[in-house]
């Protein structure tokens, strides 16, 4: 079963410095029909103007993944970590017992466009931790790359939940496939461009909840970028 979450149906908040679309209920946007999907709790598509950002704030018991599409995002946290996240980078922050961090546009003039993803952890109260890696996705278009997994296989980041997160940059005509094992579910998020999923057309910002399916075939109809969550 494929259930589409169209981009235009998402929650939306424009604060001037921040333009944000919410796939699931978040902050002042509440929709009891769209609270979460399995362990996937938040997918926010954010654009932050130059020089602006999120001041220091706290999180607990959440796996937070940041995926930059355009521009660069500066991160600082209470673990003493400081980094700049750019396209091709994936950052994982496990809030666990508690962490405080800030995120600002690294540029004073150019906007930054990114996805912020929250996963409910399998175990609460873990020790806070942070990890970031560049996967050079643009250098290998047309391939699904594992970027986060509970066992960190294939060089993926470690995520504390039974979720395998894949990413792919696609060129027109690229065709990729993924097999879901029994009792597994998936969510596909179109970050850029347009694709088809088992022949079903999807545009930028669309998401699809997938259950009781085995074979997933994704074909790019334009330059595109997608995320695929394979979940218990």
When mean pLDDT is compared across 41-45, 55-59, 198-202, 222-226, the lowest value belongs to 55-59
Q: Is the pLDDT of residue 57 over 90?
A: no
What would be the CATH architecture of the domain defined by 138-231?
Sandwich (2.60)
Q: Do domains 10-135 and 138-231 have the same CATH topology?
A: yes
CB 131 within 8 A of CB 91: yes
Q: Is the pLDDT of residue 55 over 90?
A: no
- Answer with the residue of higher pLDDT: 57 or 43: 43
pLDDT range class, residue 42, cuts 50, 70, 90:
very high
Closest CA to 46 of 119, 143, 99, 114: 114
Q: Is the pLDDT of residue 28 over 90?
A: yes
Q: Is the pLDDT of residue 121 over 90?
A: yes
Region 144-173 average pLDDT? 97
CATH code assigned to 10-135: 2.60.120.10
CB 158 within 8 A of CB 92: yes
Give the bridge partners for 46, in sequence order.
20, 114
pLDDT range class, residue 1, cuts 50, 70, 90:
very high
Q: Is the pLDDT of residue 82 over 90?
A: no
Q: Is the pLDDT of residue 58 over 90?
A: no
Q: Is the pLDDT of residue 5 over 90?
A: yes
Q: According to the model, what pLDDT value does residue 118 have? A: 97
Region 56-65 average pLDDT? 92
pLDDT range class, residue 78, cuts 50, 70, 90:
confident
Domain ranges of the chain: 10-135, 138-231
Rounded to whole angstroms, how far apart are CA atoms 57 and 101? 6
The 10s digit of each residue's pLDDT in 197-231 is 999 999 999 999 999 999 999 999 999 999 999 99
Q: Is the pLDDT of residue 77 over 90?
A: no
- Answer with the residue of higher pLDDT: 57 or 21: 21
Region 19-33 average pLDDT? 97
Q: Is the pLDDT of residue 21 over 90?
A: yes
Closest CA to 180 of 1, 42, 34, 5: 1
Provide the token pair at 154.
């294939």
Q: Is the pLDDT of residue 76 over 90?
A: no
What pTM was computed for the model?
0.96
Q: According to the model, what pLDDT value does residue 59 have? A: 87
Rounded to whole angstroms, how far apart are CA atoms 224 and 150? 26
Rounded to whole angstroms, how far apart are CA atoms 146 and 170? 15
């Amino acid at each position: 079963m494929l259930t589409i979450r169209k981009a235009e149906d998402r929650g939306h908040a424009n604060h001037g410095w921040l333009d944000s679309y919410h796939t699931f209920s978040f902050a002042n946007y509440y929709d009891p029909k769209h609270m979460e999907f399995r362990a996937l709790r938040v997918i926010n598509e954010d654009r932050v103007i130059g020089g602006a950002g999120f001041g220091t704030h706290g999180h607990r018991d959440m796996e937070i993944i940041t995926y930059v599409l355009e521009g660069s995002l500066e991160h600082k946290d209470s673990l003493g970590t400081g980094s700049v996240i750019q396209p091709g980078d994936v950052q994982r922050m496990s809030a666990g017992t508690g962490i405080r961090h800030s995120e600002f546009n690294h540029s004073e003039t150019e906007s930054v466009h990114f996805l912020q993803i929250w996963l409910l952890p399998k175990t609460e109260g873990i020790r806070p931790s942070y990890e970031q890696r560049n996967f050079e996705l643009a250098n290998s278009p047309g391939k699904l790359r594992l970027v986060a997994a509970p066992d960190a296989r294939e060089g993926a980041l470690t995520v504390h939940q039974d979720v395998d997160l894949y990413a792919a940059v696609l060129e027109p005509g690229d065709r990729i496939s993924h097999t879901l094992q029994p009792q597994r579910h998936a969510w596909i998020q179109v970050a850029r461009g347009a694709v088809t999923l088992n022949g079903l057309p999807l545009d930028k910002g669309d998401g699809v909840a997938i259950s009781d399916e085995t074979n997933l075939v994704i074909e790019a109809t334009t330059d595109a970028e997608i995320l695929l969550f394979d979940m218990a």
